[in-house]
A and B are shown apart, each in its own frame.
Chain A
Amino acid sequence: MRFAEKVATVTPAAPARRVRSLSDRTIAWLFIAPTIVLLLAINVFPLIWTVRLSFTNYRANRMNVPLRDVGLQHYNDILTSPDVWAAMQVTARFVIATILIQTVLGFALAWLVDKKFRGHGLWTTVILLPMMLSPAVVGNFWTFLYQPQIGLFNYVVSFFTGIPPSSFQMLGDLTLSPWAIVLVDTWMWTPYVMLICLAGLRSIPDYIYEAAEVDRASKWRQFWTITLPMAAPFIMLAVLFRAIENFKMFDMVNLLTGGGPGSTTEVASITLKREAFEKWRTGYSSAFAIILFVTVFGLANIYVKALNRLKQR
Chain B
Amino acid sequence: MSDNVTAHSVVEPSSLTKRIAGILVVLYAIITMVPLGWIVLTGFKSPPDSISYPPKIVFDPTLEGYCNLFTTRSRQTAEYLASLPPPSGTCESIARARNLVVVSESKFVPRFWNSVVIAFGSTALAVFLGTLSAYGFSRFRVPLKDDLLFFILSTRMMPPIAVAIPIYLMYRELGLQDTKLGMILLYTAVNVSLAVWLLKGFIDEIPREYEEAAMIDGYSRLQAFRKVVLPQAVTGIAATAIFCLIFAWNEYAFAVLLTSGEAQTAPPFIPIIIGEGGQDWPAVAAGTTLFLVPIVIFTVLLRKHLLRGITFGAVRK
Question: Quick check: B141 and A187 within 8 Å, CB to CB?
Answer: no
Bound together, the chains give a CA A60 to CA B169 distance in angstroms of 7
Question: Quick check: B300 and A125 within 8 Å, CB to CB?
Answer: yes
Q: Indicate whether A221 reaches chain B with its CB closer than 8 angstroms.
A: no
Contact of B33 among A31, A126, A247 (CB under 8 A): A126
B250 to chain A, nearest CB (A): 4
110-137 of chain A: CB within 8 A of chain B: 112-113, 115-120, 123-137
Residues in B whose Cβ lies below 8 Å from that of A210: 9-11
Interface string of A288-313 (1 = CB under 8 A from B): 11101100110111011001101100
Question: Quick check: B310 and A192 within 8 Å, CB to CB?
Answer: yes
Interface string of A266-300 (1 = CB under 8 A from B): 00110011001100001001101110110011011
Q: Indicate whether B210 reaches chain A with its CB closer than 8 angstroms.
A: no
Q: Indicate whether A199 reaches chain B with its CB closer than 8 angstroms.
A: yes
B138 to chain A, nearest CB (A): 9
B156 to chain A, nearest CB (A): 9
State how many residues of chain B have any CB contact under 8 Å with chain A. 113
Question: Quick check: B312 and A307 within 8 Å, CB to CB?
Answer: yes
Question: Quick check: A32 and B21 within 8 Å, CB to CB?
Answer: no
Residue on A nearest B257 in the bound complex, by CB: A277
Residues in A whose Cβ lies below 8 Å from that of B39: 138, 141
Question: Quick check: B53 and A150 within 8 Å, CB to CB?
Answer: yes
Bound together, the chains give a CA A286 to CA B162 distance in angstroms of 7
Residues in B whose Cβ lies below 8 Å from that of A286: 165-166
State how many residues of chain A have any CB contact under 8 Å with chain B. 119
Q: Indicate whether B306 reaches chain A with its CB closer than 8 angstroms.
A: yes
Taking chain B's interface residues, is the majority helix, strand, or loop, or is none over half, making it mixed?
A: helix
From known contacts A115-B13, A115-B17, infer whether A42 and B141 are also in contact, taking CB-CB under 8 Å: no
72-123 of chain A: CB within 8 A of chain B: 109, 112-113, 115-120, 123
118-143 of chain B: CB within 8 A of chain A: 129-130, 132-133, 135-137, 139-143
Residue on B nearest A58 in the bound complex, by CB: B169
Residue on A nearest B149 in the bound complex, by CB: A304
Residue on A nearest B182 in the bound complex, by CB: A42
Of B67-75, B95-103, B262-270, which stretch is located at the interface?
Answer: B262-270
Contact of B307 among A39, A137, A199, A290 (CB under 8 A): A199
Interface string of B191-212 (1 = CB under 8 A from A): 0110010000000000010001
Question: Quick check: B130 and A35 within 8 Å, CB to CB?
Answer: yes
Question: Quick check: A196 and B36 within 8 Å, CB to CB?
Answer: no
Residue on B nearest A202 in the bound complex, by CB: B317
Question: Quick check: A60 and B144 within 8 Å, CB to CB?
Answer: no
Chain A contact residues, CB within 8 Å of chain B: 6-7, 9-14, 17, 19-22, 24-25, 27-28, 30-32, 34-36, 38-39, 41-43, 45-47, 49-50, 53, 60, 109, 112-113, 115-120, 123-138, 140-142, 144-145, 147, 149-152, 155, 165, 187, 191-192, 195-196, 198-199, 202, 206, 209-210, 213, 234, 237, 241, 244, 247-248, 250-251, 254-255, 268-269, 272-273, 276-277, 282, 285-286, 288-290, 292-293, 296-297, 299-301, 303-304, 307-308, 310-311
Chain B contact residues, CB within 8 Å of chain A: 9-11, 13, 17-19, 21-22, 24-26, 28-29, 32-36, 38-39, 42, 50-55, 129-130, 132-133, 135-137, 139-144, 148, 150-155, 157-170, 172, 185-186, 188-189, 192-193, 196, 208, 212, 215, 218-222, 225, 246, 249-253, 256-257, 266-268, 270-271, 279, 281, 284-285, 288, 291-292, 295-296, 298-300, 303, 306-307, 310-312, 314-315, 317
* Pairs across A and B, CB under 8 Å, 17 listed: A13-B139, A22-B222, A30-B132, A38-B129, A39-B192, A43-B155, A46-B163, A126-B33, A127-B28, A131-B310, A137-B250, A151-B55, A152-B38, A191-B32, A210-B11, A269-B159, A273-B257
